[in-house]
Structures are given as C-alpha cells and as structure tokens.
C-alpha cells in the first residue's frame, strides 16, 4: 500500500492561513487523497478528498501537485477550533475497504 509522510507538528497564528503538507511519492493512479482531522477527545472527522484536481469545500482546500506525489491541505484562516491532528491517507479502488492512518500532523493554533 502506498504510504504518506507528514510533519509531526506545525504551528500557526490565529486568522492566518495554514498549509499542511503531505508526501505520497508511491501513489498509484487510482489512489484518492483523503484528509481527516481529529479534535481532542473525539473521533476523526472527514475534511476533504481529491484525485487530481484541486478541491475546495467549506472547511478547506486541497492542492494536489501535478505529479500527485504530494498534496497540501489549506486552511484559509486558522481558528483556535482548528487545533487538531490532521491525517493524510490514500484510498485506492482495488482495496477501498482498507485504510490506515499514520501519525498525522499536530496543528497548534496560537491566539
């Protein structure tokens, strides 16, 4: 299975944009890139996913490199409530049932 690599931690100031990187150099052509986040004492929650094109939703934007070997989750204006662990995972068509989350990136937002 293709794996992802994320920095262990990042810091941001409140109301500033945050760019959370994810490397997935062994990604296959059918792998979808998903992002989840886990707030303290809660289960993970879906943020966004994409295949090739950049994606936007009410929570965030996902920028996918042209070669698809990396992606970036963009929070346009970080709030204190965005402090969480962010996971980047790959889900492919043949093995869509399987999913493994790495350690993710712990985002700290400073007031």
Partner 1 sequence: EAQVTQNPRYLITVTGKKLTVTCSQNMNHEYMSWYRQDPGLGLRQIYYSMNVEVTDKGDVPEGYKVSRKEKRNFPLILESPSPNQTSLYFCASSLRGISTGELFFGEGSRLTVL
Binding site for partner 1 (CB under 8 A): 30-32, 36, 42-46, 49, 87, 91-93, 96-104
Minimal distance in Å, beta carbon 11 to partner 1?
A: 20
Minimal distance in Å, beta carbon 15 to partner 1?
A: 28
Nearer to partner 1, 13 or 39 (CB): 39
Minimal distance in Å, beta carbon 99 to partner 1?
A: 6
User: And the tokens for 13?
Assistant: 């100031």
Length of the chain: 111
Is residue 36 within 8 A of residue 26, CB to CB? The reply is no
Nearer to partner 1, 1 or 16 (CB): 1
Minimal distance in Å, beta carbon 31 to partner 1?
A: 7
Please report, for residues 22, 41, 105, the alpha-carbon distance to residue 69 in angstroms, rounded to integers and kept in the order given.
9, 32, 18
Nearer to partner 1, 13 or 28 (CB): 28
User: And the tokens for 45?
Assistant: 């929650």
Nearer to partner 1, 75 or 104 (CB): 104
Residue for token digits 């204006």? 77
Q: At 81, phi and psi to the nearest 5? A: -75, -10
């Amino acid at each position: 299975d293709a794996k992802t690599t994320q920095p262990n931690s990042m810091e941001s100031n409140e109301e500033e944009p945050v760019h959370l990187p994810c490397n997935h150099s062994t990604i296959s052509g059918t792998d979808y890139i998903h992002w989840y986040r886990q707030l303290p004492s809660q289960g993970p929650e879906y943020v966004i996913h994409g295949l090739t094109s950049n994606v936007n939703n009410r929570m965030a934007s996902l920028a996918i490199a042209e070669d698809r070997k990396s992606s970036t989750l963009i929070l346009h204006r970080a709030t204190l409530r965005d402090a969480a662990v962010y996971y980047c995972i790959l889900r492919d068509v043949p093995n869509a049932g399987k999913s493994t989350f790495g350690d993710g990136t712990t985002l700290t937002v400073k007031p």
